[in-house]
């Protein structure tokens, strides 16, 4: 096919492509927002269906709404595949599979009873929400946070490692201290209790009843209290560092260097070099 002579179908494909993937175009943005609203609405429908009192009263309306969303998402899915040059890459990507799973259950419900329950997989479409961030100015902040988390990853892995080892060790000890009659029915359950305690969640569904168990629990809580400081410290330090670096970059970015004594570090509104007193020339000119 010649590049100069694009067929109608090609132009259409291009338009659809812009709609779905043109984040920086107004059409693409509008489309993103519409798809987001549709996703949220379709999720609301699925959620309401699980609330017994609502699903009793509006069974019919909810079913119609669900079919409505399924049809729309089916059209979206087909158009996405159509508009892409490498549709297979999309089909087997995370979003591709999620998009398929979001529409499949409704069609399967013709053949298998109860399969429409699976339409809750649609909730994974929520990850698309992260795309919406791009629409606003939050993307930069989002990136910064991600960088902060990524650069503290080794520290966080060491930390999680410690948490896991503590959980397994204390969990095993508590199983033998407390025993099944206190609710510590097995070592995995005991580990589950340890994590509940260490993270200060504290459901209270399993609690130690013996004095020794309560003493160990007390120790574990104070440890957890101290340990919570570590990830916070890690992330705080990372963001502080980022801020400092960003601050410096900003401060010196377009900064004039004295042409006579070559000293730098002049403040923003400096007109004369603070070292030799010569007039500064704006390097941005």
Q: Which of residues 140-179 bind its own copies (CB under 8 A)?
A: 140-142, 144-145, 148-149, 154-161, 163, 165, 168-169, 172-173, 175-176
Query: CA-CA distance, 172 to 152, in Å (whole number)?
Result: 30
Looking only at residues 191 through 220 of this chain, which bind its own copies when binding is defined by CB under 8 A?
191-192, 195-205, 207, 211, 214-215, 217-218
Near its own copies by CB under 8 A: residue from 67, 82, 250, 272? 272
Measured from the CB atom, the residue of 84 and 258 that comes closer to its own copies is: 258
Q: Is 24 in the site for its own copies (CB under 8 A)?
A: no
Nearest CB to its own copies, comparing residues 74 and 185:
185
Please state the closest distance from residue 37 (CB atom) to its own copies, in A.
15
Please count the residues of this chain forming the interface with its own copies, following the rule CB under 8 A: 103
Which single residue is written with the structure tokens 């260097």? Answer: 257
Distance CA 106, CA 160 (A): 40
> Given the rule CB under 8 A, which of 11-19, 86-94, 108-116, 262-270 is the region that contacts its own copies?
262-270
Please check whether residue 99 is in contact with residue 73, taking contact to mean a CB–CB distance below 8 angstroms. yes
How is residue 264 written in tokens?
A: 């730098």
Identified binder of its own copies from the candidate list 7, 14, 186, 210, rule CB under 8 A: 186
Interaction with its own copies in 57-96: which residues (CB under 8 A)? none
CA 240 to each of CA 146, 159, 252: distance values in angstroms, whole numbers, following the listed order: 14, 20, 18
Contact between 138 and its own copies (CB under 8 A)?
yes
* Contact window for its own copies (CB under 8 A) among 30-38, 76-84, 89-97, 239-247: 239-247
Q: With binding defined as CB under 8 A, does residue 183 bind its own copies?
A: no
DSSP-assigned letters across all residues of 148-185: HHHHTHHHHHHHHHHHHHHHHHHHHHHHHHH-GGGT--
Q: Is 253 helix (H, G, I), strand (E, B) or coil?
A: coil
Could you say whether residue 1 binds its own copies (CB under 8 A)?
no
Tell the smallest beta-carbon distance from residue 246 to its own copies (Å): 10
CB of 92 vs its own copies, minimal distance in Å:
21
* Tokens standing for residue 213: 């168990």
User: What minimum distance in Å lies between the beta carbon of 29 and its own copies?
Assistant: 17
Tokens representing 216 are 């160990």
CB 212 within 8 Å of CB 170: no
Beta carbons of 195 and 205 less than 8 angstroms apart: no
Cβ nearer to its own copies, comparing 54 with 72: 54
Closest separation in Å from C-beta 18 to its own copies: 26
Q: Does 112 bind its own copies (CB under 8 A)?
A: no
Bridge partners, residue 279, by sequence: 272
Nearest one of 59, 75, 125 to 96, comparing CA atoms: 125
Binding mask 32-51 for its own copies (x = CB under 8 A): -----------x--xx--xx
* C-alpha–C-alpha distance, residues 26 and 18, integer Å: 10
Q: Phi and psi for 272 in degrees, rounded to 5?
A: -115, 150
Task: Identify which of residues 14 and 55 has a Cβ nearer to its own copies in the complex.
Answer: 55
128: DSSP letter:
G
């Amino acid at each position: 096919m010649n590049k100069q002579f694009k067929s109608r179908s090609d132009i259409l494909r291009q338009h659809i492509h812009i709609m779905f993937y043109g984040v920086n175009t107004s059409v693409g943005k509008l489309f993103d927002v519409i798809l987001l609203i549709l996703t949220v609405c379709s999720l609301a429908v699925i959620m309401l269906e699980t609330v017994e009192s609502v699903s009793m009263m509006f069974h019919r309306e909810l079913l119609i709404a669900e079919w409505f969303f399924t049809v729309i998402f089916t059209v979206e899915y087909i158009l996405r595949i159509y508009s892409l040059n490498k549709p297979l890459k999309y089909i087997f990507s995370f979003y591709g599979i999620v998009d398929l799973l979001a529409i499949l259950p409704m069609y399967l419900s013709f053949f298998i009873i109860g399969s429409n329950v699976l339409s809750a997989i649609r909730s994974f479409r929520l990850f698309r929400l992260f795309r919406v961030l791009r629409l606003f100015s939050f993307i930069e902040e989002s990136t910064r946070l991600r960088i902060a988390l990524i650069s503290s990853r080794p520290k966080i892995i060491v930390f999680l490692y410690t948490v896991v080892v503590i959980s397994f060790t204390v969990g095993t000890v508590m199983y033998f201290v407390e025993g099944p009659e206190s609710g510590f029915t097995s070592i995995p359950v005991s580990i589950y209790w340890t994590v509940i305690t260490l993270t200060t969640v504290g459901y209270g569904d399993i609690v130690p009843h013996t004095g020794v168990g309560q003493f160990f629990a007390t120790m574990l809580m104070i440890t957890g209290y101290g340990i919570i400081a570590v990830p916070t410290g890690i992330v705080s330090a990372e963001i502080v560092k980022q801020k400092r670096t960003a601050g410096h970059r900003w401060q010196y970015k377009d900064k004039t260097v004295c042409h006579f004594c070559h000293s730098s570090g002049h403040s923003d509104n400096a007109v004369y070099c603070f070292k030799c007193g010569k007039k500064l020339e704006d390097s941005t000119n």
